[in-house]
Structure 1
């Protein structure tokens, strides 16, 4: 029975049984219309979908949030801003889940959080919500980084990858080409320093923190080694390739192409040294490019994939961020609707134009609008397609802490590379129950 039929029937029953005046019957009809139609229209509120994001990027999301909320009457996207420290954001997400009934519907994740969060049961699998054809539009490494035990838990949004920056003018002055191997980098840096063209040959992230592990993944890949096999949990840190990778880092300091202070440098210290005009080579992330393009070395540098041993592959440690759905949300379909919106090429293009972050969608690297503003994007695609993942294991945070401590001990001279890698391998095997 329709609502109008119900109202008509109500009128007749009241008129027949109570014999009320016609005016009062009309009044009752108006009340019924108000109850059935008007009040629900005014009281129905959009479903809030909340996500916790670092403060800086939360501010950068404001145009996305505004546009989404203007075009979706049924959902209100809300961004809660947290500290800019990635580790603190992870800790706060973890605390919210451990306390139970997390207030967040979406989880905006660093790529290395996925195994931990998925293994703990804090995320909903997304594989049934998206096709293989749609996933093929993204960098393969970003898809693999969002996958745990054959289930997708994080959709790629923005990517990241380590690379080698070099001064084109310095190499040209010295009559040299960009290096491809570890040995070529050391020899090239020594030559340019000896010619007094550069004060510093090579800077990298040697501070004891996550950036040290990320950087080492690239050197390890370039030597043909591995950290942890995620399928078998075999540990390769005491293999000859891993020891050689650490010996290379130690040699950059011993030969003088890297300053001793490199053992205290994070991303920003190395970026500033490169932008100062004194440094030939820099290992860092893509965020440096637009900043360096506004410095005194603008137009005097280029990027290339990381160096490697002859016959081995270059590897860019893959970073990046993307959303997943909290297993505690009461609105998974609405949360997925937000993810679908974030995945639209037009939405992403607008975001990357404003921020200069690295896309995860492959087509955007050659998008004419983006390339007009960021001419290095096509070269960047070559870098990030040769990706090297940090081990996608639930105990990643603990494994990284072990590696950082022993890498730091070796590059500061407290232990030999062989001693450090043997100890790191032993502790990692204990961690993984091997």
Structure 2
């Protein structure tokens, strides 16, 4: 017999009829109190909160799991290890929501997923759960990436941003400073290649996948162009600035600055070539810094980082990346799920995570934290890059628009069609997609 039933029997047997109303009143108060305690996460029974992450990421967060369990012994946090590829994680989350009865209380979100998931009704609005002063502690672009139609759906755990790596030793030998423009990068690369100082001039991600879109956003920004305007859904892929951006990337291959195989490279292929001393310039993410700085790295202490180059008269662009947590709309334990978000996004826990993994903070103050800077002295410089970050189009249809861009951009870069034809077709197909969606 449950405790509640035993209590009911006790009151009915012990209280005389004239005092029965007091017993019933006590029962009502007890029932309301129990309900409130359960609703505020203070229920006596342990609650399981589940989240899906890429396997490497899940293992990294396991190191702080024991601390969470000590602080919240009544919350059993279950981190499910998923595939390594982020698009596969997105597919698993999407399938779970479409099929109904999703097993996930928390959603581990890439910056470009928030709009799709929020528009579909798969995330809870968490705007009221965090104060404005606390929100201001995070990078503004990361908060922007977690918002949809004025509401907040995602709290950032760690950030990411595209940047330019360069061989400082080779530039010094050639008498050059790090380049600021696309033209300077090409000139320096060709000169040092001719002198035999550099094998591969410029490495970037040219394979047909999401990394191609992320890389192209930076080149597009550097030429003053745009992809999709989120407020109006205007498409800018067939504008002169966008076509020039494609022409620049294609010229790096045609003029021998980038190898022909660059159109098949992802982040790690380019990282390994640069780390092994073959590349002069590299576009990649901050994780490369740790690998290139290891004791067995041929370029340890021989490279630097800076914001991406740009066309003369325009500004640098750095693609905003990063991961955060949102609460699934189907979760039966939203308050406990919020406790998880609060804990893992807190300053102390984030500091511990960054020191252990070398990932990028989402809290601005941590870029100049003494302990972090002592271990990662490039973080203040990294913050400068992040201050020039740009978002990929924050629209619910992002996945489809990215697929369109990748297909036509890949065709142009591999010489199957001209940059003009590729961007004209990409723009037309994107407009059809967005126009149809808007009508629906």
After TM superposition, is the score higher than 0.5? yes
Does residue 245 of the first structure (1) align with residue 235 of the second (2)?
no
1:317-373 CA-to-partner distances (Å, cap 9, x unmatched) read: 011000000000111111111111112111001111111110010000010111111
1:333 to 318, 332, 335: 335
Q: Does 1:148 align with 2:148?
A: yes
SS in 1 for 2:281: strand
Inter-partner Cα distance in structure 2 for 1:9 and 1:333: 35
Counterpart of 2:155 in 1: which secondary structure? coil
**2:314 aligned partner:** 312
Matches of 1:9 and 1:389, distance apart in 2: 65
* Distance in 2 of aligned mates of 1:118 and 1:270: 34
Structure 1 equivalent of residue 223 of structure 2: 223
2:373 to 367, 371, 374: 371
Indicate if the aligned counterparts of 1:114 and 1:154 stay in contact, CA closer than 8 A: yes
> Which residue is equivalent to 1:412?
414
1:388, CA displacement in angstroms?
1.0
Q: Secondary structure at the match of 1:156?
A: strand
Q: Distance in 2 between matches of 1:8 and 1:92?
A: 51
**CA apart distance, 1:395:** 0.9
Q: 2 CA distance for matches of 1:376 and 1:197?
A: 26
Q: CA offset at residue 44 of structure 1?
A: 3.6
The two structures have a TM-score, normalised by structure 2, of 0.89
**Aligned pairs for 1:35-434 within 5 A:** 44-294=44-294, 295-433=297-435
CA distance in 1, matches of 2:177, 2:393: 33
Greater shift, 321-330 or 76-85, is seen at 76-85
Give the SS at the match of 1:158. Answer: strand
Look up the SS of the partner of 1:258 in the other structure.
Answer: coil
Q: Which runs of 4+ in 1 moved over 4 A?
A: 6-13
SS in 2 for 1:236: coil
8 Å CA contact retained: 1:51, 1:106: yes
Maintained 8 Å contact 1:137/1:361: yes
Q: Secondary structure at the match of 1:212?
A: helix
Q: Which has the larger radius of gyration?
A: 1
1:82-131 per-position Cα deviation (integer Å, ceiling 9, x unaligned): 11111111111011101112111110111111111011000011111112
> Residue deviations 1:248-275, cap 9 Å, x none?
1011011111011111111011001101
Aligned residue-pair number:
404
2-structure distance, mates of 1:309, 1:127: 39
Aligned to 2:3: none
SS in 2 for 1:330: coil
- Displacement of 1:49 after TM fit? 1.0
> Whole-Å Cα distance in 2 between the matches of residues 75 and 87 of structure 1?
29
2: CA distance between counterparts of 1:51 and 1:413? 43
Q: 2:125 & 2:15 partners in 1: Cα distance?
A: 54
Q: How many angstroms does 1:63 deviate by?
A: 2.1
**d(CA) in 1 for partners of 2:63 and 2:275?**
31
> With structure 1 as the length reference, what TM-score do the two structures score?
0.90
> What secondary structure, in the 3-state scheme, does the structure 2 residue paired with 1:415 have?
coil
CA contact (8 A) 1:169 1:300 kept: yes
Deviations 1:287-336 (A, max 9, x none): 00000111110000000000111221211101100000000011111111
Contact conserved, 1:65 with 1:78, CA < 8 A, in 2? no
Offset of residue 9 of structure 1: 9.8
RMSD after superposition: 1.9
Question: 1:7 & 1:211 partners in 2: Cα distance?
Answer: 67
Structure 1 unaligned blocks of 5 or more: 14-35, 37-42
Residue deviations 1:65-96, cap 9 Å, x none?
21111111332211111111111111110111
